[in-house]
Structure 1
């Protein structure tokens, strides 16, 4: 489902070029999950952004479901995110003028896959059913995170990219959210790539990859 080959990414800084990724490669099959771990600044979020087409790599190759991501123009990358990839950011990125119900449905509507029954299931399983008429400013951080997760799942994406999706949730809710993510992977054949600092949560996924100094290494999760 996801193929990453020899990806490199460097950013300019006042002190000179900063190499964030230095030839990273990994594979993720449909119906499986991978925890991406590593210290802060090791390039985990950058790798997710490249896989989602939010940024361009300096070199290397990324493909999703056999279709190349590297080389796509802006419109092609936007279509990829709309139709194939579900993204859960560390920042919630909810639309303040839409209530919870419409935020949940937003990406699915863009993809032409609006399904009120599936949306109702997500709302119930994420504990959002009583909150559908509220607006983002009326929600706690944890509630906003659950809306963001539901929005990503509502379009039934083939690839889910999640950047610390349970970081703003208590342990019980975080476990329930991960249960839902893993259930979608099992039920739909989607693939899940999840950045996490939690060894406990990482251990629940099918495999782990550890980023250190811009490279994939064999270090275990701390």
Structure 2
């Protein structure tokens, strides 16, 4: 397995448990959706897999690396080189053009491939706006740029937190189609958090989070 989350627990300050013995696994090239009610811990679990936060018990192993062995630098290197994230907020850099935003993650990792970035831009329908800035784009276009930026580094794992949550039905379907196609072409594994059952069932496997546990 590329990713194994084994009986992970997480308690917020104040003693409120958010995850209790949560377990998931994900193979290379596989896609897994994670659903659950608001506040069930979906985003928390995604942040733990992204090594953005620590956990209280259990074990997370990615690509043969146990998170318990990583220091701050190791966690940052993991996100820079092997794990990419797409959030609802897009987090594009306003002072950079679309072309520069698409290449940003890959340049940080020292793995910028202009041909791959060009292919991504084409698949995402961004060819005509490469010289535009984020403020000149629609919400759907900004989301496509965020996905393209994450994929530009050819990550082993793509983490997506409600990537279609801010889009209308037509735009959401188009974005999901493109994301799944890019994952298929690159062999990247995908862990996608969503509240939408219609989105969830399009992935290879589905998991549900309730009461801090995954079923």
Same fold, TM-score > 0.5, yes or no:
yes
**In structure 2, C-alpha distance between the alignment counterparts of 1:188 and 1:120, rounded to whole Å:** 14
Structure 1: which 5+ runs fail to align? Answer: 218-222
Offset at residue 44 of structure 1 (A): 0.4
Q: Which of these residues, 121, 126, 145, is aligned with residue 123 of structure 1?
A: 121
Offset at residue 177 of structure 1 (A): 2.3
Asked if structure 2 preserves the Cα contact closer than 8 Å seen for 1:56 and 1:70, the reply is no
Q: Does 1:11 align with 2:9?
A: no
**In structure 2, C-alpha distance between the alignment counterparts of 1:183 and 1:127, rounded to whole Å:** 13
Q: Per-residue displacement from partner, 1:26-79 (whole Å, max 9, x unpaired)?
A: 111111110000000000000000000111111211111111123411110110
Provide the aligned length of Structure 1 versus Structure 2.
214
- Correspondence for 2:53: 55
**In structure 2, C-alpha distance between the alignment counterparts of 1:42 and 1:36, rounded to whole Å:** 11
Select between 120-129 and 101-110 the one with higher mean Cα deviation: 120-129
Moved runs in structure 1, 4+ residues, more than 4 A? none
Q: Which of these residues, 68, 75, 92, is aligned with residue 94 of structure 1?
A: 92
Offset at residue 187 of structure 1 (A): 2.8
Structure 2: which 5+ runs fail to align? Answer: none
- Correspondence for 2:131: 133
1:119 counterpart SS class: helix
Offset at residue 150 of structure 1 (A): 0.8
Q: Per-residue displacement from partner, 1:105-148 (whole Å, max 9, x unpaired)?
A: 00011112211122122212222221111112222222221111
